[in-house]
A and B are shown apart, each in its own frame.
Chain A
Amino acid sequence: MIKTLKANSIYRTIRKVVITGPIWAVLLGVFIIASVVTPDFLSLRNLTNILLQSSLNGMLAIGMTFLMINGYFDLSVGTAMGFCAVLTIGMQPYGLITAILAALVAGLAIGAINGLFVVKAKINAFVVTLAAFIGLRGLIFIYTGERSIVGQVDGFATFGMSEILGFPTLALLMLVFLVIAEFTLRKTGHGRNTYAIGGNAEAARNAGVPVERTTFINFMLCGLGAAIGGIFIASRMNAATPMLGWPDTNLKIIATVALGGTKLRGGFGSMIHTLGGLLTLAIISNSMDLLNVPSFYNRLSMGLILMLVVYIDAKFKPTAA
């Protein structure tokens, strides 16, 4: 009796996950296809590599998920990440801690500027973040003087390459952040407010939800995600180039989150499903790399996937969110 109940609840949980997040079925399909067509795909080394690669974009996608559930986009995440990576490397003469703090503060500040102009000045979020996207590229070039810069702290690079029990540390960190983010979405007032605003901002306002504060915080979370992503990439390469995050990281991240099932109009989505989108795209680009497909086909697939997701999103609305 108890056993069947338990089996039943497990079945129901799986069913719920598949219904609310068809991305997992897609991920499974992509995984099977990749292991069949790509010779070296199924090695442990490659699988950890995929995890490591997705940890960088993962941090950006976590922040973007908050914002997209809230009903906004941030087109500046790519160059925000680049700027924070450049700061992490460039500020190292003042100490590693200072450099990391500078990157975090910069990310939060970028998010705060974007959020302030959207919330207080009521400017279209798309214009605000597109302007920041180009502006930050300018700041990156000004700071680096158009050159690549190399880190000076060796331990920092070792950290980026390190592993815990065979898992890349950065990937584990990303997963920890993801779990915290999911917890924040599900169990805290801020998370509930975010869903409420994305679902219907006017109703949320009437119900007493602090719409402006919540949106502002989500912009800052998006900036923070970009900052941590930037620190990750800086520690993995132990260097930063002015071209980091240009030109289509924003495209990739929005595609990731949308593929994970977060509604483009907001109000629906989850971090766990974003992880599904992240792994799916990471597997696609990884097997394309292994098959020696030129990298521009990768970009082509990102663009097409994004357009396809928007189409599905518009045509097959879930009846119950």
Chain B
Amino acid sequence: MNRAVSKVIGIGKQQGLLVAFAVLILVFSLTAPGLFLTPKNITLVLRQIAIWGVIACGMTLVIVSGHWDLSVGSLTSLTTVVAITLHDKIGPIPAIIIALLVGLLSGMISGYLVGYQKLNSLIITLGMMGVLQAITLIYTGGKYSRIVEPEETWFSFIGRGFVWQIPFPVILLAAIGVVFTILLTRTVYGRRVRAVGGNPVASKFTGIRESFVVMSAFMLTGLLTGIGGVMLGSRMMAAQNYIGSGYEFQVITGVILGGTSLTGGEGNIFKSIIGIVIIGMLNNWFILMGMQYYYQWAAQWVIILAVVWIDVAGKRARAME
């Protein structure tokens, strides 16, 4: 009996995510016929999740290296607001560059404190979450910010544009996903990230500069969050100060759904993005079914516990064998 269960879990575990993905698409299209599986709706979902997906590429790296970044939501708020307010003052390109630099800098600060000072990443980034949100509010004075003439600028292309019927944010996500997949699986750097997260002691003996690896993972996450902020700003062309609040949860949920090990060492960018797509489909389905958007929060509570439980149980079953 137990063996049968663990075998089922084992098979499910192998390609569990893709199986779940297929089942969910089937269930969603059957329960929302003619609404869910339309090109328009799929485009909508993909456009919505593109920002989370981009941030998730970095978050996967951070989690694989054995840490967490809770500050990405607040950092999205800050970089979005920075990109929007500076757009009218100094033009789109400088505004984008500064937003990216803000992201990079924030990631560098968290990364330095976690990597070089060996501080608990969960608490440090929880602190950064408060600090960045406060900086956002101080920067705007609590006011709503927007681009005055949204029709006059090419800036909106990043978030709203299409290339051959494909939304530009999705193309951006695909490109970043490919780059980060190669980075994580095919480069020396990626191998070091995995080594640092999987076996910190051994990686130290092999001479890997753990501090630098961790810091750079945070910096890349900061940079990607900056890109996410620019994408969000460009899609909305306006921002309130809490616009990214809660993103950290969506992103972390997606990465966990994607099977990235919570203790570090293993992860897969492609699966993280699939995890994010699942979250996006779920949110979309709730709305198609006429439920309020906040039902998804309660649902995510259940889903994340279930998925992680299956993951942990599967690992334990394999460890027993």
Contacts and interface: CB of A to CB of B under 8 A. Distances in A.
A138 B119 contact: no
Interface in A160-180: none
A142 B298 contact: yes
Nearest to A301: B134
A113 to B, nearest CB: 8
A78 B128 CA distance: 18
A273 interface: no
A158 interface: no
Contacts of B262: 123-124, 127
24 contacts: A73-B122, A121-B308, A123-B308, A123-B309, A124-B263, A127-B262, A128-B305, A134-B249, A134-B301, A135-B301, A138-B295, A138-B296, A248-B129, A248-B133, A251-B129, A264-B120, A264-B123, A299-B130, A300-B131, A303-B129, A307-B119, A307-B127, A310-B120, A311-B119
B162 interface: no
Contact of A126 (B68, B118, B295, B300): B68
A132 B301 contact: yes
A211 to B, nearest CB: 17
Contacts of A153: none
Nearest to B303: A131
Contact of B294 (A121, A146, A294): A146
Given A134-B246, A299-B130, A304-B127, A126 B302 contact: no
Nearest to A251: B130
B299 interface: yes
Contacts, number: 138
Contact of B292 (A73, A142, A296, A310): A142
B299 A138 contact: yes
Max count, chain A CB within 10 A of own CB: residue among B117, B133, B256, B262? B133
Interface string A138-167: 110110001000000000000000000000
B135 interface: yes
Interface in A55-87: 73, 75
A132 to B, nearest CB: 6
Contact of A300 (B124, B134, B300): B134
B137 interface: yes
A247 interface: yes
A251 to B, nearest CB: 5
Interface in A243-266: 247-248, 250-251, 254-255, 258, 264
Contacts of B8: none
B125 to A, nearest CB: 10
A31 interface: no
A100 interface: no
A121 B256 contact: no
B212 interface: no
B16 to A, nearest CB: 17
Contacts of B144: none
B113 A127 contact: no
A183 interface: no
